[in-house]
Amino acid sequence: MSRVNHAQLQSSIRDILDFPTPGIVFKDISPLLGDGPLFRSVIDELAEIASNTELSKIVAIDARGFVFGAAVAYKLGLGFIPIRKKGKLPYKTVGSSYQLEYGDAAMEIHIDALNPGEATVLVDDLLATGGTSASAVNLVQKLGGSVKAALFVIELDFLHGRAKLPPDVPVHSLIRF
């Protein structure tokens, strides 16, 4: 396994001002994704953290979380569960609404994505205000599953997002701004 060079990772994230709305500084992960060795080391490190927990599935959030979550699930040989924006899943779903730093949103999970008692790890690219991640944890719990940890590539400390996650869900972030 290759360890992440955290300085290189941090420098691979570029700021896009006023996207998607004025006043927001968007963290663009495109340079990270374009750097094969760096991307591999990020997946390796997330998978190593996840492997310290007994679990059966990786849960990831639409859309950038899919990039990291699916790769971690593949590396660990686990099932992958997508949590998508409302109206994007084809089968019966259960949903949850939440607040973003720039508006309201809703997301859904298939009603048969988990069996009661299944343990998961949540993977996403970014922890900001915590509303999206807390909503994802809520969806897993609605299906009777548990979230044993939440893994993020980036965390924006100044938004205090980890405070919105349940205290029994350890939060791991590779870099923090």
Q: Which residues belong to the active site?
A: 64, 101
Phi-psi region of 61 (alpha: psi -120 to 50; beta: other; left: phi over 0): beta
Please write down the HEC assignment for all residues of the chain: CCCCCHHHHHHCCEEEECCCCCCCEEEECHHHHHCHHHHHHHHHHHHHHHCCCCCCEEEEECCHHHHHHHHHHHHHCCEEEEEEECCCCCCCEEEEEEEECCEEEEEEEECCCCCCCCEEEEEEEEECCCHHHHHHHHHHHHCCCEEEEEEEEEECHHHCHHHHCCCCCCEEEEEEC
